[in-house]
Amino acid sequence: GLKTYFPLTRGLVFQRKIGDIRAVDDVSFSIVRGQTLGLVGESGSGKTTIARTLVRLYKPTAGQIIFDGQNLASLEGEELRKVRQRIQMVFQDPYASLNPRFTIGSLIGEPMHIHGVAEGRDVHERVLELLRVVGLRPEYYDRYPHEFSGGQRQRIAVARALAINPDFIIADEPVSALDVSVRAQVLNLLQSLQRQFSLTYLFVSHDLSVVRHVADRIAVMYLGKIVEISDRDELYTAPQHPYTRALLSAVPIPSPQIEKQRKRIILSGDLPSPINIPKGCRFHTRCPMAQDICREVEPAFEAKEGREHYAACHFSERVAQLGTN
């Protein structure tokens, strides 16, 4: 499993190590080419650390990252740079991710120069083509980021990510900073680009209702671990982990009738610190189903009824009793 721990040191002088922040604590998953894996969890669950570890913004403490047969965890220098070119990130905040002093044309063209995918007039042509592909006008080429809305800026950031023909895109909360009215447009754009360019996505979000629109499979993270992973529809209809069930119960349903009948599961307490992860099942301090064994024995992450549906809970067969959506 993949682990990313950040050593925690106290004091500038002694740098005495007092523990590790176990941001990503032994997780294993795979993403099918051409599909979208949604990675869901509260802030502090480790999902952004996974995303950043996959592109080697962080070096993992242990484990492998296999991308097209190569282990990214052990690559360095030129080899790493080459593979990273095939993986691009789209971030949450389109205001922070675009340098305000550059025109849209140079922002989208810059990665092409850096990675040598196009030169001279070709760059100009390709930028115009990308503007069209993400639904922006050619005359935006000479304008600056501040002239655009959040949704348009995110389209520009997506065009920039596409500039060097990646295979894999990691989108970290790509619509969370946008107005609700433009979220669906950006999500639709991402989906149509996926079909057009055979892209594979890791879509990171705290919001299950957003992930539902885009993901083929969904992984749910809690305190550095993936506690459940399954096909999207099965995760929504038959969750096998009480944490997933609780998250689903908080997703608003646009029907007052159903909203009235459904059972909300309110989790008690706060997310524990990743320095001090609870013994046994890490969710036991907040789980409405916890028993004695949960405080002692960590549940295995195992397939439920032989399907491609995995969960880490001693009592997953009882999750349905927590009530239905």
How far apart CA 99 and CA 144 sit, in angstroms, is: 9
Q: Point out which span in 9-17, 100-108, 181-189, 308-316 binds ligand SF4 (CB under 6 A).
A: 308-316
Ramachandran bin of 210, using left for φ above 0, alpha for ψ from -120 to 50, beta for the remaining angles = alpha
Closest distance of CB 222 from ligand SF4, Å: 9
∠185-88-38 over CA atoms, to 5°?
A: 60
CB of 221 to ligand SF4, least distance (A): 14
Q: Which of residues 212-271 bind ligand SF4 (CB under 6 A)?
A: 241-242
**Least distance from C-beta 21 to ligand SF4, angstroms?**
22
User: How far is the C-alpha of 113 from the C-alpha of 288, rounded, in Å?
Assistant: 54
How close are the terminal C-alpha atoms of the chain, in Å? 32
Rounded-to-integer distance, Cα 26 and Cα 5, Å: 10
Please, which residue, 71 or 273, has the CB nearer to ligand SF4? 273
Query: In the complex with ligand SF4, which residue's Cβ is closer, 180 or 266?
Result: 266
Total number of residues binding ligand SF4 (CB under 6 A)? Answer: 13
- Look up residue 193 and give its DSSP letter: H
Considering only CA atoms, which of 125, 3, 7 is closest in space to residue 63? Answer: 3
Site map 279..298 versus ligand SF4, x via CB under 6 A: --x-xx--x-xx---x----
* Nearer to ligand SF4 (CB atom), residue 56 or residue 241: 241
The least distance separating ligand SF4 from the CB of residue 281, rounded to whole angstroms, comes to 3
CA distance 3 to 20: 11
Buried b (16+ CB within 10 A) or exposed e, 167-183: bbbbbbbbbebbeeebb
Measured from the CB atom, the residue of 242 and 274 that comes closer to ligand SF4 is 242
Shortest Cβ distance from residue 202 to ligand SF4 (Å)? 25
Smaller CB distance to ligand SF4: residue 126 or 284? 284
> Does 314 interact with ligand SF4 (rule: CB under 6 A)?
yes
Which residues have CB under 8 Å from 40's CB, separation 6+? 47, 205, 206, 207, 208, 211, 218, 219, 220, 221, 247
- Residue closer to ligand SF4 (CB basis): 131 or 281: 281
Give whichever of 91 and 283 is closer to ligand SF4, judged by the CB atom: 283
Q: Is the dihedral of CA 211, 213, 214, 215 positive or negative?
A: positive
- Comparing CB distances to ligand SF4, the nearer of 40 and 127 is 40
Rank residues 160 and 286 by Cβ distance to ligand SF4 and give the closer one: 286
Considering the rule CB under 6 A, would residue 299 count as an interface residue with ligand SF4?
yes
In the complex, least distance from residue 75 CB atom to ligand SF4, rounded to whole angstroms: 36
8 - beta bridge partners? 19
Token pair, residue 53, equals 């570890």
The token pair at 122 is: 């070709």
Per CB under 6 A, 60 contacts ligand SF4:
no
Region near ligand SF4 per CB under 6 A, out of 46-54, 136-144, 203-211, 309-317: 309-317
Which residue stretch of 126-134, 156-164, 250-258, 313-321 sits at the interface with ligand SF4 (rule: CB under 6 A)?
Answer: 313-321
Task: Tell me how far apart the alpha carbons of residues 163 and 69 are, in angstroms, rounded to a whole number.
Answer: 24
Give dist(CA 28, CA 118) in Å, integer: 37
- Residue ranges that bind ligand SF4, judged by CB under 6 A: 241-242, 281, 283-284, 287, 289-290, 294, 299, 313-315
